[in-house]
Structure 1
Amino acid sequence: MVTNAPDTTQRPPAVILAGGRSSRMGRPKAGLVLGGRTILDHIVERLAPQVGNIALNLNADPGIGLPPGLAVLADAVPGYFGPLAGVLTAMRHATEVAPHATHVLTVPTDTPFFPDDLVVRLSSVPDPEGTIAVAWSGGEMHPLFALWPVAITDDLEGWIRTDTKLRVRAFIARHPSAAVDFPMIATKAGPLDPFFNINTPDELREAEAWLQRLKDRKA
């Protein structure tokens, strides 16, 4: 398990969701190279200062070396049930590694530019105890960037076993939730959605260009 010091006890655990089939990319997205490093490395680097520990939900060999100590979790339910199976896996894992945590963070493995204040802002919603805090940008929901209450773990497992469509948004609608809006990232080439995700080779090339613009922005 990847951990981050100092005091991480008050930070939620996080699970990177990489259990999908990557059909449009044709290979596991965690191992894609962006700026000379894997996307997984970029995501772990962004997460580490924000969370208590990090694990990876993965159902296949990523074909790469993983960061040292990163726990790898197969889906908690047999068969392929989509991203909700990864969320359930994250909840189950959180109760084991952080029994006092009320929430677990999930992030997908194909979104390397997400905000470095993601957890702080998701945690700031009113009445957070039983609320699913979900990231939004540009009027769009990003349902896998969310803080999930572990108290709804059993309900999610029941939903997975009985609902045929397995829609993440539909499950969120069953529970109290809060939308947390994040601004675009300003660059000289125009605004970048911090939740820009990579599903195709063309989008990987586009991400390379955005990465360079972000480096130029900091220079």
Structure 2
Amino acid sequence: MTTTVPLAGIILAGGASRRMGRDKATLPYGDTTLVERMVDVLKPRCAPIFVVAAPGQALPTLDAEILRDEVRGVGPLLATGRGLRAAAEAGAELAFVAAVDMPLLSADLIDELAGPAVRLGAAVVLPWDGRDHYLAGVYRTSLAGRVDALVAAGERSMRALVDRVDTQRIVMPEQDGLTNLNTAADLAALPRPQMA
């Protein structure tokens, strides 16, 4: 690990991705898939790593624990709660929550958020570059119960959680590491991954 701030990692991989036309987790990225790439990105910085997948979703063998959403198509809030609960049960107080479609993310960016998460004592720390990046932030694992209550009340969006807890935003310039892939054109436009 590159800093002393311990973080679990949660990768949300179960989205339907209507704009992409298929689930993103198994999209090829170089000689790997997006989900494998994201596990590799988080591995030097986060432990344990949880991948939250849809029920029945096929995934490659991963160096992470795979969790399954109880319900398909409910959105990222429920999946985040599932991951936060697992991270808390593993003893983690903080977790980095990431979307599966951010292959240019780096451990350095994660560290830019981890320090303030501890120093400020916030429930959530998000990067802000003109917009909130809900699925590239540090969350307290104790929020799992709050997520359950929000989902039970019919909430589905990450904003529902972030707007109700102490959230700190770290202003950052626009950067490739925060880029989400939403279409096949986005994937095609990525720089080719460096071969190890």
Separation of aligned partners in 1, 2:88 and 2:167: 21
Percent of aligned pairs with the same amino acid: 25
Separation of aligned partners in 1, 2:29 and 2:73: 28
2:115 to 102, 124, 128: 124
Is the 2:98–2:137 contact (alpha carbons within 8 Å) kept by the matching residues of 1? Answer: yes
1:66 positional shift: 2.2
Is the 2:48–2:87 contact (alpha carbons within 8 Å) kept by the matching residues of 1? Answer: no
1:11 to 6, 9, 13: 6
Q: Which one-letter code corresponds to 2:132 in the other structure?
A: M
Q: Deviations over 1:152-203 (max 9, x none)?
A: 2211110111034x22123201111111233345xxxxxxx32111121111
Give the superposed CA RMSD: 2.4
Is the 1:9–1:52 contact (alpha carbons within 8 Å) kept by the matching residues of 2? Answer: no
2:66 to 46, 61, 72: 72
How many residues matched? 193
Which is further off, 124-133 or 197-206? 124-133
Separation of aligned partners in 1, 2:139 and 2:126: 9
- The structure with the largest alpha-carbon Rg is 1
Separation of aligned partners in 2, 1:152 and 1:133: 13
Q: 1:131 to 1:54 in 2, by over 3 A?
A: same
Q: Deviations over 1:124-145 (max 9, x none)?
A: 22744342011223x1211111
Q: Does 1:83 align with 2:76?
A: yes
Is the 1:131–1:177 contact (alpha carbons within 8 Å) kept by the matching residues of 2? Answer: yes
Quote the residue 2:172 is aligned against.
182
Separation of aligned partners in 1, 2:146 and 2:17: 27
Is the 2:12–2:52 contact (alpha carbons within 8 Å) kept by the matching residues of 1? Answer: yes
Q: Which one-letter code corresponds to 1:22 in the other structure?
A: S
1:22 to 9, 17, 29: 17
SS in 2 for 1:42: helix
Q: Where do 1:95-174 residues align within 5 Å? A: 95-97=88-90, 99=91, 101-125=92-116, 127-137=119-129, 139-164=130-155, 166-174=156-164
SS in 2 for 1:141: coil
1:57 positional shift: 0.2
1:204 positional shift: 1.3
Q: Deviations over 1:21-57 (max 9, x none)?
A: 1222222211111122211222111111111221110
TM-score, with length taken from structure 2? 0.86
Structure 1 segments unaligned to the other structure (5+ residues):
1-5, 186-192
Quote the residue 1:190 is aligned against.
none
Quote the residue 2:192 is aligned against.
211
Is the 1:129–1:149 contact (alpha carbons within 8 Å) kept by the matching residues of 2? Answer: no
Separation of aligned partners in 1, 2:82 and 2:171: 26
SS in 2 for 1:175: coil
TM-score, with length taken from structure 1? 0.78
Higher relative CO (CA 8 A, sep ≥ 6), structure 1 or 2?
Answer: 2
1:14 positional shift: 0.8
Q: Which one-letter code corresponds to 1:87 in the other structure?
A: T
Structure 2 segments unaligned to the other structure (5+ residues):
none
SS in 1 for 2:178: coil
